Structure 1
Amino acid sequence: MITLYDAQGTVLPTGFDGRGLPSGVVLIDLLRPDASEIAYVERVTGLTLPSSHRMSEVEVSSRLAMQRNALQVTSPIVYRTNDIAVNTSPVGFLLSARLLITIRFVELKAFTDFLEQKPFRIGDPSQAPMELFLGLVETIVDRMADAMEQIGVDLDRMSQHIFQPDVDIDVATKPVHAERRLSRSLKTIGRNGDHTSHARDSLLGLGRLVAYVGTHAEERLSANAKNRLETLKQDIASLNDYQNRLADKVQFLLDSTLGFINIEQNRLFKLLTIASVVGVPPTFVVGLYGMNFKNMPEYDWAYGYEWGWVLIVISVVVPMVWLKWRGWF
């Protein structure tokens, strides 16, 4: 889909009838463009649009380039695939003195939020393409900051859940519950770790993109645009620091959860060991008196039955007292 905007945010008609761009176009937004739309834009602008494959490449030369006095920059942007999962998709910008072209392959909330603002907040009409570019990048960074703040909230909540004493479950009586709880914790930590990893990819791409534009478009930047670029650099740097802290916390919670899993397993193995140790002596006593030899005086003794039970109880109690003294339970 192709959408043309003027400096006020008005959607202009798209002409595929051989004519050029409508008068006043400053933004061409391409969402999942087909071959005819790509051919039209290339014809009316004289620029070559990068393919989705080229935009997905990780080399800096594929993401940052100059093309006929237009800056061609690309960065992966985080987006939600559903309520809990995220992914990244490449977004391309072609920025010239009179036109901004955006290329994307998924619906991005940042673009929707920005493009729905009517009219566009443009201070200097002669700087419209640059101001639109900066506005879009600022909106993307703002949404990433909100998403990372939510990750931080989720990790804080998970930390309280993991280390809070009243959620500790006695594995001796409810091992299945403990297993489910720890499994849920691992999934939550893994999901937030995945979010953090995608955020890092986006921040790395955006940081390079902003630095490249600031260097190669310096002569066309107004004082206000330079200030906004500098602010973006600072915001991205601070988000990178915050992302590093989140990554460290994810690793800490992952190690802690795996440690608790190891503790729960050791508890269960200890329980089984105690049961086997305590169960061996009475089994021996029962087996001894179940051999049915003729010369066993206890068989003819009036208190033989009670004697057998006393031996069984003693054989259970003595190992338990010894294990308790050793601190096994």
Structure 2
Amino acid sequence: MLNIFTLVNGRLFQEEIESLEELAQFQPIWVDLESPTVEEKRWVKQHYGLSIPDDAMDEDIEESARFYAEDNGDLHIRSDFLVPDDEEPHTVRVAFIVNMANDGRRSSGILFSIHDEDIPVFRLLRMRARRAPGLIEDAKEVLLKLLDADAEYSADTLEEIYDALEKVSSQVLAGEVTDAQAGEVLGAIARHEDMNGRIRRNVMDTRRAVSFLMRSKMLNNEQFEEARQILRDIDSLDSHTAFLFDKINFLMDATVGFININQNKIIKIFSVASVALLPPTLIASIYGMNFQYMPELAQTWGYPYALALMLASALVPMWYFRRRGWLK
């Protein structure tokens, strides 16, 4: 899918392109390619003279090759964006190319973005730019706003994790936790820990992208200050992710502690039962020894006496354990 975005009276308008002739009718500041076809890449190369690298969206690209500037002034940035899907949260690699060529048709440059799937941050920026005139001024502003929105989206996701962990905390600290509840809690904690780790990695990647833009010396004074503000916002998220990691570890330890308590209760029952049944077993073994004559057969009350003695030897330890509170 090939979408272009043009500025009209300070507002960002989107057009979906379906042919090369239609592409030539607009002067965009942002060209977005979502899962581009070979034909769409050919249109971009033919009209803008830009060749999209084959490894633009590769996940295993070298870290040193994710941010670089070409001799003609084009900037290449590969950054990850968070997609907090309920079923499978993940990050999407986006390749940005800031084309600053001046060929008479454009002087402020064009931002090209290439990605495999729709990204919530992109939808958020499009909605804001349509409603707020003057929010976007040029291609570099689009890229900064995308990175800013990514950091803001990460902050919103952290707030959702805070709320979810509060519910987990109330469930864990309310009282006794059964094994079934502990399993649900551990599953929820694992999901939140995974999301928190993804957010931490995502903001680190965003920080690198913003820092590279600042070092490129392509930003004006206002944009440079905006980039510094984005970095300050990202720095503030680090403490939140660290706190969430500590909170998750605490809840994990508390839940595992309840599991150990439940297991100890089961082991306690077996321990008490084995100790209580030891005296009857001893009496039974004595009466079962190979005497010249069996004492329980010598008298008519032999068997009842033996059974009563075994029962008493079992009840006395149970009474003692209950008195000490070990059966509670």
**TM-score tier after normalising by the smaller chain length:** 0.7 to 0.9
The answer on whether the counterparts of 2:196 and 2:241 sit within 8 Å (CA) in structure 1 is yes
The answer to whether structure 1 residue 106 and structure 2 residue 117 are counterparts is: yes
| Structure 2 unpaired stretches of 5+ | 100-107
Q: Following the alignment from structure 2 to structure 1, what is the Cα–Cα distance between the partners of residues 18 and 173?
A: 62
Q: How does 1:199-210 map to 2 (within 5 A)?
A: 199-210=199-210
What's the counterpart of residue 189 of structure 2?
Answer: 189
Aligned partner letter, 1:35? V
1:251-308 CA-partner distances (Å, limit 9, x unpaired): 2322332333233222222221222222232244345556797834444546545533
2-side partners of 1:58 and 1:324: how far apart?
67
| Structure 2 match to 1:79 | 83
Q: Partners in 1 of 2:312 and 2:130 — Cα distance?
A: 89
Gaps of at least 5 residues in structure 1 are 170-177
Where does 1:1-329 land on structure 2 (aligned, <5 Å)? 1-7=1-7, 8-12=11-15, 14=17, 16-17=19-20, 21-51=24-54, 55-57=58-60, 59-67=62-70, 68-81=72-85, 83-96=86-99, 97-117=108-128, 119=130, 121=132, 123=134, 127-165=137-175, 168-169=176-177, 178-216=178-216, 218=217, 220-286=218-284, 289=287, 295-299=293-297, 301=299, 303-304=301-302, 306-321=304-319, 323=321, 328-329=326-327
Report SS of the residue matched to 2:3. Answer: strand
Per-residue Cα deviation, 1:27-61 (whole angstroms, up to 9, x for no partner): 10111112221222233233332445654236332
Distance 1:199 1:255 in 2: 23
Maintained 8 Å contact 1:278/1:320? yes
SS of aligned partner of 1:78? strand
Q: Distance in 1 between matches of 2:16 and 2:293?
A: 111
Letter of the structure 1 residue corresponding to residue 145 of structure 2: G
Aligned partner of 1:173 in structure 2 is: none
Q: Deviations over 1:65-110 (max 9, x none)?
A: 11331211111222134x2431111012212341111112122112
Letter in 2 for 1:26: I
Shift of 1:201: 1.6
Deviation at 1:152, TM superposition (A): 1.6
Taking only aligned residues, the RMSD between alpha carbons, in angstroms, comes to: 2.9
CA distance, structure 1, for counterparts of residue 45 and residue 234 of structure 2: 32
Residue 105 of structure 2 corresponds to none
Residues 199/130 of structure 1: CA separation in 2 closer, same or farther (3 Å cut): same
* Secondary structure at 1:116 match in 2: helix
Amino acid at match of 2:93: P
Q: Give distance in 2, aligned partners of 1:76 and 1:285.
A: 74
Deviation at 1:317, TM superposition (A): 2.8
CA contact (8 A) 1:278 1:319 kept: yes
Cα distance 1:249–1:21, how it changes in 2: closer, same or farther (>3 A)?
farther
For 1:293 and 1:22, the matched residues in 2 are separated by 113
CA distance in 2, matches of 1:61, 1:120: 38
Matched residue of 1:243: which SS?
A: helix
Please state whether the residue corresponding to 1:9 is helix, strand or coil: strand
> Structure 1 residues 15 and 154, CA, compared in 2 at 3 Å: closer, same or farther?
closer
2:52 maps to a residue whose letter is L
Equivalent residues of 1:31, 1:105 under 8 A apart: yes
